[in-house]
Amino acid sequence: MAHVTINQVIKNYGAVRAIKGIDVGIEDGEFVALVGPSGCGKTTLLRMIAGLEDITGGTIEIGGKVVNGLQPKARDIAMVFQNYALYPHMKVADNMSFSMQLAGASKEEIRVKVQDAARILNLEPYLDRYPRELSGGQRQRVAMGRAIVRNPKVFLFDEPLSNLDAKLRVSMRAEIKSLHQRLGTTAVYVTHDQIEAMTMADKIVVMSEGRIEQVGTPLDLYDEPANLFVAAFIGSPSMNLLEGEVCAGGVRFADGTMLHLSGTEGFETGRPVIAGIRPDTFELAERGLAVQVNVTEPTGAETQVVGQIGDTPVTCLMRERISGRYGDVLHVLPHGPVHLFDPGTRLRLGTARAALVN
Amino acid sequence: MTDMTTQIQSLPQDGLNRGSLRERLEEPFMRGGQIGLLLLLALVFFLPVLGTLLTAVRTIPDITQNGAWALPSSYEWGNLSHAFVEMLPYLRASVIITLPSVAGTLMVSMMAGYALSRMRFQGRIWMFLVIVSLSFVPIHTQLIPVFRLMSDLGLHDTFLAQIIVHIMRQIPFAVLIMTNFFNTVPGELREAGRIDGASEWTIFRRIYVPVARPALSALIVLEFTWIWNDLLWGLVLTQGSGKKPVTVGILSFEGEYEIAWNMVASGAVVAAIPTLVVFLAFQKHFIRGMTMGSVKG
């Protein structure tokens, strides 16, 4: 077990700078998710921690030791790959113990460790099988078993669930989380799926274009996104972003509707802002923001209304069972926080709450 | 009752879908045609073999009187055992040449294929292109230079000379096959190996070589057949009978004034048996190796 410190790390591919100076501190035993759209550099960063990619600049420390120049095997890490990367010609037990065989461990020691890992992962009946004889979920568990057997300081996961079907993904998600809680090993988990990150991680690092957008606990990111990118990325369906300007007692949107807010007093009148409202905070109101319905999608517990306010597309998640049709108009009011962002810097300005509507 | 209803239901359908009748006829017709064509091709390819087999077991007067295609007037199975005994030194020479040549080709091509496919170094693509394009050099332009080279090295009329030349000639094709095969193996296997603490050599030896078994089997069959059946280098690089392979040995049945066709044919049959054995031994892997790329998708 160890903490991981990433200090001003840079990665260049030729003339392209893929990682543009990143600082992250990962505590001992913490489960950290690196999340972001494809091409944001999250996998590159993970591979740099693993030692599979060179580090162009900056330092990475594992357990207080700079590992920049160390080979992967010397870093005391274990990695679970997206496509599992099981050795196809080795049985499950050999797959899990390959690293110990190479390290020259005794047969007895190997047997005990493999048995332990197999018991933790419910793989005991499959130790004598080849990877091709296993289902996707079982292969995934073997890949984790290979990591557990090594008893590393840090687990690295590279989108380990993206090759599984939706149902299995949810159950494996819980399995990995409980495994982490039992073993207590530091884990770095790369995913593009923000739900995976939200449900599993102690701390989320949101990345985009080689930079960190925000670091925080899942609920921090949800409740107080630092900028428009995080606001739109975290949460599903994603946050509605409406352009408007500050007016006396609230915000006036482009279509002329005014939303009465408390908490905008500090801003000068006429200041352009983007108001971010979570879809699930909307509730039906007598008067309020007028949403022109495009479609309604009932899911039973909730109804998702896809429509627009003025020209801006919005999504509302309503508790009520609404059967609106194309062209209908609904009046809604946000009953949660309204996040205010600066359209220029795209940074968070503050949080306001809805009052009344004229 | 049920028969009635089905009949009634099927009646109008027949009237409507006249095309389906043709489709139904088309299928067995096409299928029959395909099988017929394949049988014809198989026959065409089998005829020379049949001719050789028939010739191998008859007497010289029988050949001169009845030609090659008649059934033998008497079956001289002794021809084959006689040819086998006569050919023993040549068979021995062929084994001594072929096995190290195949092994050497495989060794070099596996390592080269792994490096060209998995390691990133300057000039990798060029190196690959140069190696593969060497197979386009016509063999005839190499005969005299290679002959002189081997003479200068003092290797004329040795097994070693033939082994070196065979390996040299086979490397381009074998490297092409192995490089392409290793390209289909996920690169994560190497990375998983590195994290598990394996050196580059261990990754090659304990992960990639076992994974490449189907491709290796296919290569063994092809290379064994090609090297075993080589005639040209066996002729050019040898002098005495001791170092000549079977393909050259068959020619020893040609006398100065007459050719013992039955013995030549028997010799050919004896010489062909090892390649057949190797093919049968590796056949299952061979087929899998050939179809591998397509199945993986």
The predicted complex's ipTM stands at 0.83
Residue B12 clears pLDDT 90, i.e. is over it? no
pTM for the model stands at 0.80
What is the SS3 assignment for A233? helix
Residues of chain A neighbouring B195 (CB-CB closer than 8 A): 50-52, 72-73, 77-79, 99
What's the confidence (pLDDT) of residue B23? 75
Mean pLDDT is lowest, of A89-103, B20-34, B176-190, for B20-34
Distances from the Cα of A214 to the Cαs of A44, A205, B36, in angstroms? Answer: 18, 6, 71
Which residue, among B118, B182, B195, would best test binding to A if mutated, counting the most A CBs under 10 Å from its CB? B195
Nearest-CA distance B189 → chain A (Å): 5
Q: Is B124 on the interface with A (CB under 8 A)?
A: no
Residue B19 clears pLDDT 70, i.e. is over it? no
Per-residue pLDDT band for B252 (boundaries 50, 70, 90) equals: confident
What's the confidence (pLDDT) of residue B240? 78
Per-residue pLDDT of chain A (358 residues; tens, 9 = 90+): 589 999 999 999 989 999 999 999 999 999 999 999 998 999 999 999 999 999 999 999 999 999 999 999 899 999 999 988 999 999 999 999 999 999 999 999 999 999 999 998 889 999 999 998 898 889 999 999 999 998 899 999 999 998 888 888 898 899 899 999 988 999 999 999 999 999 999 999 999 999 999 999 999 999 999 999 999 999 989 999 999 999 988 899 888 888 888 888 888 888 999 999 999 999 988 888 889 999 999 988 899 999 999 889 999 999 888 888 888 899 999 988 999 999 999 999 999 988 754 4
Nearest-CA distance A339 → chain B (Å): 43
Residue pair B110/B296 in contact (Cβ under 8 Å)? The answer is no
Sheet strands side by side (includes A4-13): A16-26, A4-13, A57-62, A65-66
Average pLDDT in the B105-117 region? 96
Looking at chain B, how many residues does it have?
297
Residue pair A126/A138 in contact (Cβ under 8 Å)? The answer is yes
CB A81 to CB B194 under 8 A? Answer: no
Residue pair A212/A202 in contact (Cβ under 8 Å)? The answer is no
A176 closest CA partner among A202, A150, A214: A202
CB A71 to CB B194 under 8 A? Answer: yes
CB B192 to CB A102 under 8 A? Answer: no
Rounded to a whole number, what is the largest CA-CA distance in chain A?
78
B238 closest CA partner among B122, B138, B160: B160
